[in-house]
Structure 1
Amino acid sequence: MTKLSVICGKASEDLGKKLARKVKANLVRADVRIFPDGESKITLDGEISKKKSIVIQSTYPPVDTNLIQILSMISKAKETSSEVVTVIPYMGYARQDREFLPGEIVTMKVLAKLFKGAGASEIIAVDIHSLIGLKYFTIKSKNISAIPDLVKFFKKLSLKNPLIVSPDQGGKGRAKEFAKKMGIEYIALEKNRDRKTGKVKIKTKKVDVVGRDLILVDDMISTGGSIINATKFLKKEKCNKIFVACTHALLMNNAEKKIKKSGVTKIVSTNTIPGKTSIVDVSDTIAKAIV
């Protein structure tokens, strides 16, 4: 009898395979067919454990499609398994964790109900954008960090007097942790974001980065606006090379090209979202989080 099974959705197929190998589980694949109207028809192929299943799928774009797919897989797994651990390497909607403007819906509150209702026993996220979102879950939930995996990659590079930079004050804690693990210094820039237009401006006046290699650290890159603004500012301050380290590289609207054009040497992200920049594997970190 299968003691443990990993059910991986199409959005996290490669990561799911790696995770199944790490936890020595039976791999159950999802065969997905998308109808012309956008509906998903999912067929699971493989033996589902009666004891414990791990369902893994990131909810990057198309967010709602990937979301309904993972909820459906959880529901199917719960028909057989007594425990369904749900791994969401990239959690969409995590920025909608509170009511910023009157009338805004706190979508994370809705997701918490949906995952519990589908049959999830536990939620594991990787570098969720806001920990506040996890507070809405009434089932066991935890966030794990990909920083050690990213640090491991950057330690192998020959960098010139490196410095960790956070593009804003909100990411200061992340930059501090990254720098501590690298054994180097960090700084955090100040920025202003217009809540209505989304436009970002750097408020910091001057930093001492002359001739240094910089690692711009963020949890996620969507359109790359913050990274581009920070890069332009840092280049004016006469730094050397700029690298970008992030967990989730969404890179919407041709963001990768725009970021490179602004002066970034290399973008390094994890495989929470598959893509050209996702060269750091987090399957081992996820495996350790599953008890």
Structure 2
Amino acid sequence: MKVISTESSQILAARLATALNTGMVDVKFSRFPDGELYLAAGELDDETVIVGSVTGSDALVQLLLLIDACEGSENHLVIPYMGYARQDKKFKNGEPISARAIARLFKDNVADCITVNIHEPDVLKYFGVPTKNISVGKDVGAYIQTLHLKNPLILAPDDGAMAFAEGVAAVGGWDCDHLEKTRLSGVEVKMAPKKLSAASRPVVIVDDIISTGGTIATAAYMLYQQGATDVYAACVHGVLIGGAFVHLKAGGIRDVFCCDTVERGCSRISAAKSIAAALKG
């Protein structure tokens, strides 16, 4: 078995190869003069783990090209972050089900697939091969333990993210809650933990994805007003568009950290061991 990856997942793929105690396939990436993507894979094995996050259109095309280049091998596909997964239903006539359209692409030359904390688990039914979604909540919790926070409150941004937050909190036996919005007027909204108090304790807001960071920045401001000593932001997929990292730091977030499913400077948590465990079955 060897591990091969697209440009968007090089670091995670290398860590995964180490976790699996196996080698990697070298890949040369370039473009044709007209801008089309080109790649050439090195020596393949009979069994290959293909790793590629769908962080944009080029990353998607590169992943499809890589799958095709691995023809003749038994290929296990790992999609650490799957873009286009948010729209899993039609909201109005004429819209595509984007998640379905993308998932259907991964059926040829693929034996099975692993996703990591996919935004909408219902998307798995659209894949044409056996697919399982794993959570790295324990890995996020393990990193929070290294911060040595005293009596932290693990906080989900909404009820929908509560299951993930509970998985994170279980690692340290910490308190867990979710934010609840209360409309005070036509223009004023209050956000606070639904059941527990943030006063005199550090708070870690955890979610599967941080995109713009707007909700977290607003929540941090209100949590400080409610007496929180520090507010941290943690996620699996640090998409961080539109200057989100700076926006969060400027808004008072003590630190921002995420996994290497989307490779960023703040990707201090690796999904490699959890993915390796899933591959070993």
TM-score, with structure 1 as normaliser: 0.88
Match of 1:56 among 51, 60, 70: 51
Q: RMSD between aligned alpha carbons?
A: 2.0
AA in 2 matched with 1:178: V
Equivalent in the alignment of 1:80: 72
Equivalent in the alignment of 1:265: 254
Distance 2:193 2:139 in 1: 32
- Offset at residue 186 of structure 1 (A): 1.0
TM alignment of 1:168-179, pairs within 5 A: 168-179=158-169
Q: Per-residue displacement from partner, 1:108-143 (whole Å, max 9, x unpaired)? A: 1112221113x2111111111110111111311011
Q: Per-residue displacement from partner, 1:171-218 (whole Å, max 9, x unpaired)? A: 1111122222220111111359xxxxxxxx656597621111001000
Gaps of 5+ in 2: 183-188
Equivalent in the alignment of 1:196: none
Distance 2:90 2:110 in 1: 26
* Partner SS for 1:14: helix
AA in 2 matched with 1:48: L
* Partner SS for 1:228: helix
Q: Kindly tell me: are residues 239 and 67 of structure 1, through their superposed partners in 2, closer, same or farther at Cα, counting changes over 3 Å?
A: same
Distance 1:39 1:113 in 2: 22
Equivalent in the alignment of 1:197: none
Runs of 4+ that moved beyond 6 A: none
AA in 1 matched with 2:15: K
- Offset at residue 26 of structure 1 (A): 2.9
Equivalent in the alignment of 1:245: 234
Matched residue count: 274
TM alignment of 1:1-291, pairs within 5 A: 4-35=1-32, 37-45=34-42, 47-50=43-46, 52-60=47-55, 63-77=56-70, 79-81=71-73, 83-117=74-108, 119-191=109-181, 208-291=197-280
Distance 2:222 2:125 in 1: 36
Whether the 8 Å contact between 1:189 and 1:202 is mirrored in structure 2 is no
**Percentage of matched positions with identical amino acids:** 34
Q: Kindly tell me: are residues 184 and 223 of structure 1, through their superposed partners in 2, closer, same or farther at Cα, counting changes over 3 Å?
A: same
Whether the 8 Å contact between 2:37 and 2:62 is mirrored in structure 1 is yes
- Offset at residue 286 of structure 1 (A): 0.9
- Offset at residue 158 of structure 1 (A): 2.2
Distance 1:239 1:101 in 2: 41
* Partner SS for 1:6: strand
Q: Kindly tell me: are residues 107 and 237 of structure 1, through their superposed partners in 2, closer, same or farther at Cα, counting changes over 3 Å?
A: same
Distance 2:65 2:101 in 1: 16
- Offset at residue 37 of structure 1 (A): 4.5
Distance 1:287 1:13 in 2: 15
AA in 2 matched with 1:5: K
Q: Per-residue displacement from partner, 1:218-277 (whole Å, max 9, x unpaired)? A: 001111122112212212212110111111111111110000111100011111111111
Whether the 8 Å contact between 1:212 and 1:241 is mirrored in structure 2 is yes
Distance 1:101 1:173 in 2: 29
- Offset at residue 168 of structure 1 (A): 1.2
